[in-house]
Amino acid sequence: MAQNPSSFDKETQKAKRQQAKKSVAKWLVVLGTVLAIVLASSTYLLEPILSSQHVRYLQVTEVAIIGFFAIQLITSVSYNIYVRDRI
């Protein structure tokens, strides 16, 4: 018995969405781990060298950079999911 083409498309779209969600979750965990390592290392390594105010500015910059990559990741994946669903 042959499957309905529209139901097959819905199943593949659902599988692609699931895969994209897993990919985003994995990359967000990786970015969070990188952020934690960079913040900890900058705190312990640069605190004796720089003033606490400069270390704080550096840490704000680090959070902004990682946040930028997280936003880029989420928007690109959500855009791809949206475009694939519309085609």
pTM > 0.85: yes or no: no
pLDDT in tens, 31-66: 999 999 999 998 899 888 989 899 999 999 999 999
31 contacts: CB under 8 Å, gap ≥ 6 = 66, 69, 70, 73
pLDDT bin (cut points 50, 70, 90) of residue 8 is low
What backbone torsions phi and psi does residue 44 show, to the nearest 5 degrees? -80, -30
Residue 75 pLDDT exceeds 60: yes
Q: pLDDT tens digit string along 20-32?
A: 888 888 988 999 9
